[in-house]
Structure 1
Amino acid sequence: MTSPTDISPNASPVLASSKRQPRRGPPESKHLQRQRLAGKCPYPLAYTKHVFELESLDMRLINHLNNGSVSFVDFSDPNWRAEEGSATPERSLDLGCGTGSWVIDAAKEWPNCDFVGFDLVDVQIPLRTLPPEYASIAERISWVHGNFLTNKLPFEDDEFDHVHIRGISQGVPENKWGTLFEEVSRVLRPGGVVEIMEDDIIFPLLPKWFTAPLRSRTRRATSVVHYPDGTHRGLFPFPDTQSDAAAHDHALLESLYKTIFSSRFINLNPTAILPSYFTTYFRHVTLGPVISFFMPPIPPLQPLPPQIITSYVIDPNSDTLDSRTSTVFASPNEVRPTSLSFSSVSTSTADSSRLSSMFTGTRRKSSSVSTYDSPEDSSLFTKPSSDPPKSPSPFKSFVLDGGMDDEEPAMSPYRIQMRNNLNLFNERALAMHLYRSYQVVLACQEEMWEELKDRIRNRKAELKPFGWDDDEELEELQSRKKFELLVDRYRTDMQTRTALWCSLTGIGWQFPPREPLSKAELIEEERIRAAMLEARAYAESDDGPPQPCRSLRVLVGYKA
């Protein structure tokens, strides 16, 4: 019998096809593809579907601020020198186009314009997948790939009359902005316009009074490692023991997140530095205000799930229960009696006013924390009352330039229009800005892990203030699991704070039913619920000014 190694070049095709092919490894992930480009581009975000979905959120924001348009440019401005017979651009470049969603939307709005989307990697929407009615749009779009940080843009001088830039500041070192704008000016024709929208790099914070009740759940015993000297400890103790010196529960992740940008010389506040670079290369610049969106109001707690009730069929002539049983569930609308178990917490309003907070240590007369009505007071969960509704406390959802006066006489029409459109947002819209911010943090998980490994190997002293226990050498796999537990905790805490379920019920969606719980599980839920309500009632009032969860700025300029 001929072995595969004895097959000659003249062997039959059937026999040659039986030769065993070398085994291939698993397909390369997007993160590994980005790692291969790490030496060329300092962009730390992974190319995941969650990151791509953020582009859709940004597009909806742009449309809202511009009354449905994809552009911040006023093409009726005298500084815009339109080509003969055209009131809109005829050739546009989207620098850092990502998936290309802006290009496709702009092609629908500007039917006489050709578009080029330029990005480092091939993650754009395949044009062949567009519906047949958009065939003319696909003919006017092309994708080009390259690195604008290390090479010149592969375009001729004065080739474009419009350049769009958005969301590249997380991958552009501060010393590269001048070179980048110089290249943009080169490919832009005289009289052409460039617009840029960038976000500050923010790590959303949660105060300890909010996260402490989430940690009050009774923890199950973890795996224990026993040592020859008789001592023992949990395998992954860090997620259950936080350093008291840390400002909040996610201080280590915040430090890792900010370090991966500062180590790449990427400024965390591009909204502050971009105007100086931008005005050097462009004229008639419109510096939009810095729009800072505050954290959303504290959402109500989710309704408690129903309790599992087991009914038994009892034979009157027997002292034993019949084997036939049936399980029924309490109605969600049924008022559940207060549990008398010692493990549950039940206090009246009068009682709670006499108790000191278990999370702040001090009493408060009033709370400055803006909250939604609790489920007991919300019309989403109770029948409407005949009493007149209480007027809600005023809540400011955004600020322009860190505190511009609404009555400022020098406000431009552009700023007035932007403020009016921003005022149309309801408070729950802030939850989407918070969602966007913490998804950006999660997208940097792999780079944060690389930074943590470097600290463990070379800079262990930097980890001690955050409670990272390094008394013994842990294997890399164990450290990785500890890190993933930290990330999962941050994700769940942010999901609780964002409470997208509240946004859905507010626009008419039915609250998704939760699985029924046993009596013991329900008692635990009630205890945590009471702890969270108490923490909100006694939240400290001197936490300082409201912290933004997102800050962005728009700049528009023309080439002389």
Structure 2
Amino acid sequence: MPERTILEPTFAAGRKMRSSKVVYPLEYSRQLQDFDNWDHMVSVRMFGRLTVYDFPTSPKAVLDLGCGTGLWCIEAAKQWPCSTFAGVDIKKIQPDLSRTGHTDLASRIKWVHANFLNALPFGSKAFDFVRIRYIGLAVPEDKWQDLLEEVHRVLKPGGLLEITEDDLTFPCGPAPYSGLTGDSALLSTTSSSDSMPGSSQTSLTTLVSALPRDHLLIPSSGISDLETLGSPHSPAQYEHKSARDHRRICESWKDMLNHHFIAPPVSILPFYLNSIFASVAPQPALQLNLPPNSSLSGNPQPLGSSDSLTGFQILNSDDKSTKSRGSHSISYPLPESVARLQLARQVQTIIACKNTIWERYEALYGKSSTVSDVTISKKERNIKSNTARDEFEFHWDNWVNDMLDRIDTRHIVMTAFSLPPPPGNYTPDYKVWRKRCGEIENIDPEHPDGNASRYIRTFLSWKASDPV
């Protein structure tokens, strides 16, 4: 057995690069750590191994860039007993293996806390394999080339980079059709219950009764994560828009990405990889469809036919624009609950960016007339008019409740463990939200706005071997 040596960081080893500060818009939470660990377990189940690439022999020196909690490094070290590992992350959230009694793992795994947007603290040609997974929110578009050139530098000749990223999708589906649209379409607020003869005013009762149930104004609750409900945001009047019209939150998400110069990684990685590495093999894309809303009975609707139970598709076409048309699609043999929990992971990622999204919402809509024109009862709040933040929370809560209803973790757990409904009359807020929406039309999978909740692709890239 070869001598086991740890790859110690050498902070003077990297090439000279312009120093970059972290621009991560995401506040990394315990919930996201749990979802990252869960995502690792799902990936192993899908591919039957630790990596997308099937190594004929285990790589000797491995770098996990953006290692998070370090779970992958630990599991890989168990399966590859002759390999050494370096896990790089700016967050100190990895376990102290020297205190766990795993002396073998501690001797072969090194946690390095550094900003990978700067020069990597390792010598050239140090690693046989570099793994990168879901760091897209932390890498501005103009930093991908520097980062990948550093990865190329630290790889040995013939070494492999396996990078998996998603396209930073904002799951919301197409906005429901409404006869009244636009920011100026506010509900009438006449004090009479019926229109006066000859009057041009329309009573609130008459207007609302003529609308589809989905377009009623639905007070909701703020949440701090996928399980905890917080204080209510229930203004008496808002714009006449559907409770499932999430365009303002979606546009704020997109503006946040633009503001931080973050481009969807799946779209731009082929250019950078092909310009740096000798050989690049894009793997089939994986699309995860947005689950439908639950039925009024409270149980989720199925994601598809009996031949496509999971909502997953393998897309062999390189043209992303054809993905919704299902070109060469194959279903993965995974339970329906996995598709819903994948949506939960994406929603949790966006929730972790809430404060940054709010900053962009305020910049986009903070001076909108719909803020100053909308009033709420003094009984509900001790102010005369609501703020942009109140409006943001109202739209945010509608989006979160919509997503929670599609995920319906309560139903997943009850089904998985054959549990009866909980005693008492407790109803989660997202169930109340769903009931008030009434009938909801199914999303057309061919709709131009799409119905994807995640879009993932892996790229395998090899450094050229030294000439013989």
Indicate the SS of the match to 1:99.
coil
Within 2, Cα distance between the matches of 1:528 and 1:430? 20
Q: TM-score, normalising length from structure 1?
A: 0.60
Out of 41, 53, 60, the position equivalent to 1:73 is: 53
Are 1:105 and 2:66 matched, yes or no? no
Are 1:196 and 2:171 matched, yes or no? no
Tell me the alpha carbon deviations over residues 251-291 of structure 1, each in whole angstroms, 9 at most, x when there is no partner: 22112111111111111x32121112112222232211221
Spell out the pairing of 1:133-148 with structure 2 (5 A cutoff).
134-148=102-116
Match of 2:311?
397
Within 2, Cα distance between the matches of 1:471 and 1:482? 9
Within 2, Cα distance between the matches of 1:139 and 1:292? 39
Within 2, Cα distance between the matches of 1:499 and 1:213? 21
Q: What fraction of aligned residue pairs are identical, expressed as a percent?
A: 31
- For the 8 Å contact 1:93–1:164, the answer to whether it is kept is yes
Within 1, Cα distance between the matches of 2:107 and 2:443? 59
Within 2, Cα distance between the matches of 1:455 and 1:156? 45
- For the 8 Å contact 1:217–1:528, the answer to whether it is kept is no
Offset at 1:205?
0.6
Indicate the SS of the match to 2:32.
helix
Indicate the SS of the match to 1:157.
coil
Structure 1 210/127 Cα, relative in aligned 2: closer, same or farther at 3 Å? farther
Amino acid at match of 1:427: E
- For the 8 Å contact 2:89–2:112, the answer to whether it is kept is yes
Within 1, Cα distance between the matches of 2:156 and 2:47? 25
Uncovered stretches (5+) of structure 2, i.e. residues with no partner: 1-19, 179-211, 221-231, 318-322, 376-382
- For the 8 Å contact 1:296–1:428, the answer to whether it is kept is no
Within 1, Cα distance between the matches of 2:254 and 2:104? 44
Within 2, Cα distance between the matches of 1:488 and 1:558? 45
Out of 17, 24, 28, the position equivalent to 1:43 is: 24
- For the 8 Å contact 1:239–1:482, the answer to whether it is kept is no
Match of 2:344?
435
Amino acid at match of 2:256: I
Match of 1:242?
239
Indicate the SS of the match to 2:336.
coil
Aligned length: 381
Are 1:152 and 2:119 matched, yes or no? yes
Structure 1 256/92 Cα, relative in aligned 2: closer, same or farther at 3 Å? same
Out of 40, 46, 59, the position equivalent to 2:40 is: 59
Amino acid at match of 2:91: V
CA RMSD of superposed structures (Å):
3.8
Q: TM-score, normalising length from structure 2?
A: 0.71
The structure that has the greater radius of gyration is 1
Structure 1 214/128 Cα, relative in aligned 2: closer, same or farther at 3 Å? farther
Residue range with higher mean Cα deviation, 180-189 or 476-485: 476-485
Tell me the alpha carbon deviations over residues 328-383 of structure 1, each in whole angstroms, 9 at most, x when there is no partner: xxxxxxxxxxxxxxxxxxxxxxxxxxxxxxxxxxxxxxxxxx9349xxxxxxxxxx
- For the 8 Å contact 1:299–1:502, the answer to whether it is kept is no
Offset at 1:431?
0.4
Amino acid at match of 1:275: P
Spell out the pairing of 1:213-224 with structure 2 (5 A cutoff).
none
- For the 8 Å contact 1:297–1:427, the answer to whether it is kept is no
Offset at 1:108?
1.3
Spell out the pairing of 1:512-551 with structure 2 (5 A cutoff).
512-516=421-425, 529=435, 535-536=439-440, 544=447, 547-551=451-455
Out of 326, 333, 336, the position equivalent to 1:424 is: 333
Match of 2:400?
491
Match of 1:274?
269
Spell out the pairing of 1:502-521 with structure 2 (5 A cutoff).
502-516=411-425
Are 1:288 and 2:283 matched, yes or no? yes
Within 2, Cα distance between the matches of 1:542 and 1:196? 28
Within 1, Cα distance between the matches of 2:147 and 2:460? 16
Within 1, Cα distance between the matches of 2:460 and 2:307? 37
Uncovered stretches (5+) of structure 1, i.e. residues with no partner: 1-38, 77-86, 221-234, 305-369, 374-390, 407-418
Structure 1 100/527 Cα, relative in aligned 2: closer, same or farther at 3 Å? closer
Amino acid at match of 1:105: E
Offset at 1:425?
1.4
Are 1:124 and 2:132 matched, yes or no? no
- For the 8 Å contact 2:214–2:439, the answer to whether it is kept is no
